[in-house]
Amino acid sequence: MTEYLMSSEAAKNEPHRTLLTAKNRLAYLTDHDWALLAEKSEILAFTNEEVIIQAGVRPRQLFFILNGKALIESARGTRLAEVSEGDICGEMSFLEDTIASARVVAEGNVETLAIEWTALDSLFEQYPDLGSRFFHSIAIKLSHRLRSQVSRPRG
């Protein structure tokens, strides 16, 4: 069962520190960018095998992994990838404004920072430079993901 973990404003602003230092982070976002995102986000916790994003459904939120790991699976259940601290889920649906092409499932306990698409759009209108850095970071992340898939041995 998904848990909502927000209890105080101080706690709500701490997650961006984890995301700033994670090796898989969105590279071009600043400390201030993360603080703005965290202010509009909520922390959600998922338990083992709980679905974070369902394939074939429009998510309406982006998820930044704060702690734990999740599996990305095709609609048929084939394991496609794994995400962990600093990674983002739901970005492809956000970019394309469409349904999720894959399912994201918690592997053990997972804590995420979740932000509604509408909140992101509002932040990008208010802070265009944030939007620019965000989309640049997503482009780099997707490029790295594609490169790793292309260079992975097929068997």
Total number of domains in the chain: 1
Q: Is residue 154 assigned to a domain?
A: no
What DSSP letter does each residue of 98-150 carry, written as one string? S--SSEEEEEEEEEEEEEEHHHHHHHHHH-HHHHHHHHHHHHHHHHHHHHHHH
Helix axes 117-126, 31-39, angle to 10 degrees: 130
CATH code of the domain covering residue 120? 2.60.120.10
The two tokens of residue 97 are 């404004």
Q: Are 44 and 4 in contact (CB under 8 A)?
A: yes
Q: Is residue 144 assigned to a domain?
A: yes
Q: Are 88 and 29 in contact (CB under 8 A)?
A: no
> What percentage of the chain exceeds 90 in pLDDT?
64
Q: Is residue 153 assigned to a domain?
A: no
Q: Is residue 54 assigned to a domain?
A: yes
Predicted TM-score (pTM) of this structure: 0.83
Q: Is residue 135 assigned to a domain?
A: yes
The range of the structural domain enclosing residue 48 comes to: 3-148
Q: Is residue 155 assigned to a domain?
A: no
pLDDT single digits (tens) 39-59: 999 999 999 999 999 999 999
pLDDT single digits (tens) 3-46: 544 433 444 455 555 665 555 578 899 889 988 998 999 999 99
Q: Is residue 78 assigned to a domain?
A: yes
